[in-house]
Chain A
């Protein structure tokens, strides 16, 4: 085989993004095909059935479960307000009656004559989906959501924390190798997306939260710092729901690692532009990577892709990044792809490739340990 398949992360200066914005359950789409939308416009909404309040009313009234239906003062499907008399026991010869006044509002959903339990369902919970990126509605999926088409600069990170945020790009570091430290975070970055270079420190993240930054993006983060920020050791890479006061995205990996120069320069060129970011990461079947989307006004983009889909082929000359120790983070070009498996230092046999680094060194690494990056 002359070349091998390996996935990489998408970093694109100019691309046409087709962004699917779907409701978690069936609902109503509020826009039509061809409509122009802004990032924070609501494009679809739905109501999730309200919370449920189960109550063993039979035991509260001191009646048997079978007698409960006869004690009910409200019918199934009827609205109940807080303080409404919900049920009254028959008492003994008309005396010693006991009433129950509802402590929750909702609709009476069921009354069980077997368990004596009633179920009250609370107000429907509204769910809204925003456009996320400014653009045109390309497709409406009835009752589900929309596809928004937008011309953007698109950068995928490798790992993130926190959900969707919006803000202007602020460059905090001057070089991609420069760590993002506390002193580089300024009050004027409030509401913005702060771009660092190499590792973001714990103190820098705390300062960003303190100034009210929407998001912080940098090359790497130390796992110990992440643990301190979250307050726990992250076990499984399914993120996006954390509430730490900002969204964090790393573009390269954990440890002292600088942002890829091309990515950094792309951010540099878009300083001041409004961006949409999402830290949600899921590294399982149906992989989801965090992203930074910066709309452009140029609609000449020819490359069209659905968010998330990336692939490439390894061949001599491909630019690659080594993604595992002992050469983690090093960037170079594929010099050779020997077809025969090679014995590694670990003693395992694996197919390898030779990578030529910019400083002229040539390294042998397993093919599984590189990812293609844009040249």
Chain B
């Protein structure tokens, strides 16, 4: 990989090799600013007959080249560098999730402490965590060994103990893993990489426990002290081993690695990277979601702390049946405002599962699919909130004011009232026929409180920008701001349960639009506010309800518009829909109409 001076970079080519599609984008410096200009895609070619990822990359790049009128490949299909007039690019970068991405097993002594830290490190690096083994996971040792033997991870992260703490427990874990002889996914010759990130004093005995069947490496402890998490070194090592081992065994990746000007990153790791960069730059709290066919990834940055979760079996095609099984059909149908037959729907869900590439043709099918998406996103967000917590096991200093709270550490750091930006990506959100539907799915599933800006990733560019941020942060941020996000608008919602029939809040809007009025409990209103427009929204919540300044306290904030507009939400939090006490079909229909979801 060559060393590049950022000032000399005029043209950037980036690809993301997904499981099914390889997407290429071109970024060019126009009038002093970086802009995403062209995109192309082609089927990913890691499987037979091509069995070489670079074939798909070349095809996607050819499409970009054709659209841009720029020669990007030479006669040997090598990417031309540096740029010269209408020829070549200055840097080429790539992410990858082909072949099922990076699959890991993590182990730690205490599930809520070192094992949780190890899991956060693995997820943050972009891995799918297949299982977490810990001394207190309620499984007997032989069951844990059996599980390790069944799984075929790409690598293992072993943690446990604080530095200078007890050695015994982490060695005990190593003693379970070593004889289980976990088999990697790729080939007989592949030695399983095991990263040790536990008590530094246990390293020697841990090393003695393993034989030459594994590739053992050591990094700094993920939890050197109980009140301190140190995930960076483990994440870096995961990325390195991902390149060295996993990628090197995937067809054609040795070639692709030699083509790129920066290390290839796992796709979700890159998405997390750009979200973190943006949150840091703007000093905001942000949540990003990517809902795919098989999995849903949720990323969050609250007060500078980054978390990522993967809900492995919540998705809209391969996993749609699992969403229905986990959420249950009544919970899905509560979002549907038209009559549907459950027996028929069950069959449709299974038919989508077995033929995952089909798309809804009728409005009824779309309404149902978006109802399923609400539940998939809701469940994924619940999992995320449960995972993204403050460190457990840390001694708390309490004051008299804390007497009646039983918090013992480990509370979720995800706070919807503090959430500033919610970004959507993934087929069902990105390709919804109307952006109003995307906004409604986000609000219903995530239940943002106070003032929250809603946006979607226009063409799922965040992975490309995540890896670009590593080599050229300025270009990544400029493109993110100008071309990546499509702003849907702002949601203003009160937290708490408004009393039925009563006023939930009063509002006054000034600026590019003017309006004022009252929102009755359960009401939802959409006001036009375009992308270029701004408005100041003053909210006066009813007693007991909160819009960001505290219960019953007025609050005022400048908001941005978007493709959908300004959404005032007086339905309360938590949203109560369906069941005996929740909103009924008639109320749901009113919301559908208020948001102009399916009308002309």
Contact present for B353 and A344 (CB under 8 Å): no
Given contacts A51-B142, A115-B171, A235-B313, 8 further A-B contacts (CB under 8 A): A52-B179, A54-B176, A112-B209, A223-B346, A235-B319, A283-B318, A344-B360, A346-B361
A328 to B, closest residue via Cβ: B351
A346 to B, closest residue via Cβ: B366
Contact present for B322 and A285 (CB under 8 Å): no
Can you list, as one digit per residue, whether each of A327-366 has a CB less than 8 Å from chain B (1) or not (0)?
A: 0100000000000000011111110000000000000011
What is the minimal beta-carbon distance from A310 to any residue of chain B, in angstroms?
12
Question: A371 to B351, alpha carbons, bound, how many Å?
Answer: 13
Contact present for A52 and B145 (CB under 8 Å): yes
Near A by CB (< 8 A), chain B positions 202-222 give: 205, 209
Can you list, as one digit per residue, whether each of B281-322 has a CB less than 8 Å from chain A (1) or not (0)?
A: 000000000000010000000000000000001000011011
Within 8 Å CB of B188, what residues of A?
25-26
Question: A234 to B350, alpha carbons, bound, how many Å?
Answer: 9
Can you list, as one digit per residue, whether each of B129-161 has a CB less than 8 Å from chain A (1) or not (0)?
A: 000000000000110011000000000000000
What is the minimal beta-carbon distance from B140 to any residue of chain A, in angstroms?
9
Question: A222 to B349, alpha carbons, bound, how many Å?
Answer: 11
Question: A230 to B343, alpha carbons, bound, how many Å?
Answer: 17
Within 8 Å CB of B179, what residues of A?
52, 109-110, 119, 121
Near B by CB (< 8 A), chain A positions 112-146 give: 112, 114-115, 117, 119, 121
Within 8 Å CB of B325, what residues of A?
233-235
Contact present for B433 and A348 (CB under 8 Å): yes
A348 to B, closest residue via Cβ: B433
Contact present for B359 and A236 (CB under 8 Å): no
In order of increasing CB-CB distance, the 6 nearest A-B pairs are: A235-B322, A347-B433, A346-B366, A255-B347, A233-B325, A223-B346
Within 8 Å CB of B319, what residues of A?
235-236
Within 8 Å CB of B347, what residues of A?
222-223, 253-255
Near B by CB (< 8 A), chain A positions 238-291 give: 253-255, 281, 283-286
What is the minimal beta-carbon distance from A327 to any residue of chain B, in angstroms?
8
Within 8 Å CB of B366, what residues of A?
346-348
Q: A223-B350, A348-B433 are in contact. Are A371 and B355 (CB under 8 A)?
A: yes
Q: Does A237 reach chain B (CB closer than 8 Å)?
A: yes
Q: A114-B205, A236-B321 are in contact. Are A326 and B142 (CB under 8 A)?
A: no
The SS class assigned to the A binding surface is: loop
What is the minimal beta-carbon distance from B537 to any residue of chain A, in angstroms?
30
B20 to A, closest residue via Cβ: A285
B328 to A, closest residue via Cβ: A233
Q: Does B227 reach chain A (CB closer than 8 Å)?
A: no
Within 8 Å CB of A366, what residues of B?
358-359, 361
Within 8 Å CB of A346, what residues of B?
359-363, 365-366, 433
Can you list, as one digit per residue, whether each of B563-592 has a CB less than 8 Å from chain A (1) or not (0)?
A: 000000000000000000000000000000
Q: Does A166 reach chain B (CB closer than 8 Å)?
A: no
What is the minimal beta-carbon distance from A104 to any residue of chain B, in angstroms?
10
Within 8 Å CB of B598, what residues of A?
347
What is the minimal beta-carbon distance from A109 to any residue of chain B, in angstroms?
6
Q: Does A217 reach chain B (CB closer than 8 Å)?
A: no
Contact present for A223 and B349 (CB under 8 Å): yes
Number of B residues near A (Cβ < 8 Å) is 60
Question: A127 to B113, alpha carbons, bound, how many Å?
Answer: 39
Question: A222 to B145, alpha carbons, bound, how many Å?
Answer: 38
Within 8 Å CB of B434, what residues of A?
347
Near A by CB (< 8 A), chain B positions 423-446 give: 431, 433-434
What is the minimal beta-carbon distance from A258 to any residue of chain B, in angstroms?
14
Near A by CB (< 8 A), chain B positions 80-103 give: 99-100
A237 to B, closest residue via Cβ: B353
Counting chain A CB atoms within 10 Å of each CB, the highest count among B100, B209, B360 belongs to B360
Q: Does A169 reach chain B (CB closer than 8 Å)?
A: no
Contact present for B168 and A115 (CB under 8 Å): yes
Question: A365 to B360, alpha carbons, bound, how many Å?
Answer: 10
Contact among A224, A236, A285, A344 with B19 in the assembled complex (CB-CB below 8 Å):
A285
* Interface pairs (7), CB distance under 8 Å: A51-B146, A54-B142, A114-B171, A223-B347, A324-B359, A346-B433, A348-B431
Q: Does A309 reach chain B (CB closer than 8 Å)?
A: yes
Contact present for A323 and B324 (CB under 8 Å): no
Within 8 Å CB of A51, what residues of B?
142, 146
Contact present for B351 and A253 (CB under 8 Å): yes
Question: A325 to B176, alpha carbons, bound, how many Å?
Answer: 50
Contact among B175, B205, B324 with A119 in the assembled complex (CB-CB below 8 Å):
B175
Can you list, as one digit per residue, whether each of B44-80 has a CB less than 8 Å from chain A (1) or not (0)?
A: 0001100000000000000000000000000000000
Within 8 Å CB of B99, what residues of A?
285
Contact among A284, A285, A325 with B361 in the assembled complex (CB-CB below 8 Å):
A325
Q: Interface on B for A, CB 8 Å cutoff?
A: 19-20, 47-48, 99-100, 141-142, 145-146, 167-169, 171-172, 175-176, 178-181, 183, 188, 205, 209, 294, 313, 318-319, 321-322, 324-326, 343-344, 346-363, 365-366, 431, 433-434, 598
Can you list, as one digit per residue, whether each of A31-57 has a CB less than 8 Å from chain B (1) or not (0)?
A: 000000000000000000101111000
Question: A347 to B179, alpha carbons, bound, how many Å?
Answer: 57
B369 to A, closest residue via Cβ: A346
Question: A233 to B209, alpha carbons, bound, how many Å?
Answer: 42
Question: A344 to B346, alpha carbons, bound, how many Å?
Answer: 23
Question: A328 to B360, alpha carbons, bound, how many Å?
Answer: 12
Can you list, as one digit per residue, whether each of A86-101 has a CB less than 8 Å from chain B (1) or not (0)?
A: 0000000000000000
Contact present for A286 and B361 (CB under 8 Å): no
B181 to A, closest residue via Cβ: A49
Q: A49-B181, A255-B347, A348-B359 are in contact. Are A237 and B100 (CB under 8 A)?
A: no
A281 to B, closest residue via Cβ: B354
Counting chain B CB atoms within 10 Å of each CB, the highest count among A65, A109, A324 belongs to A324
Question: A281 to B356, alpha carbons, bound, how many Å?
Answer: 14
What is the minimal beta-carbon distance from A158 to any residue of chain B, in angstroms?
5
Q: Does A63 reach chain B (CB closer than 8 Å)?
A: no
Within 8 Å CB of A285, what residues of B?
19-20, 47, 99-100
Question: A26 to B344, alpha carbons, bound, how many Å?
Answer: 47
Q: Does A159 reach chain B (CB closer than 8 Å)?
A: yes
A349 to B, closest residue via Cβ: B433
Question: A374 to B453, alpha carbons, bound, how many Å?
Answer: 51
Q: Does A368 reach chain B (CB closer than 8 Å)?
A: yes
Contact present for B181 and A325 (CB under 8 Å): no
Question: A254 to B321, alpha carbons, bound, how many Å?
Answer: 12
What is the minimal beta-carbon distance from A353 to any residue of chain B, in angstroms?
12
What is the minimal beta-carbon distance from B499 to any residue of chain A, in angstroms?
37
Contact present for B351 and A324 (CB under 8 Å): yes
Contact present for A222 and B354 (CB under 8 Å): no
Q: Does A369 reach chain B (CB closer than 8 Å)?
A: yes
What is the minimal beta-carbon distance from B324 to any residue of chain A, in angstroms?
7
Question: A326 to B344, alpha carbons, bound, how many Å?
Answer: 11
Within 8 Å CB of B349, what residues of A?
223
Within 8 Å CB of B178, what residues of A?
110
Near B by CB (< 8 A), chain A positions 188-223 give: 222-223
B146 to A, closest residue via Cβ: A51
What is the minimal beta-carbon distance from B453 to any residue of chain A, in angstroms?
25
Within 8 Å CB of A119, what residues of B?
175, 179
Q: A110-B175, A115-B168, A237-B321 are in contact. Are A368 and B351 (CB under 8 A)?
A: no
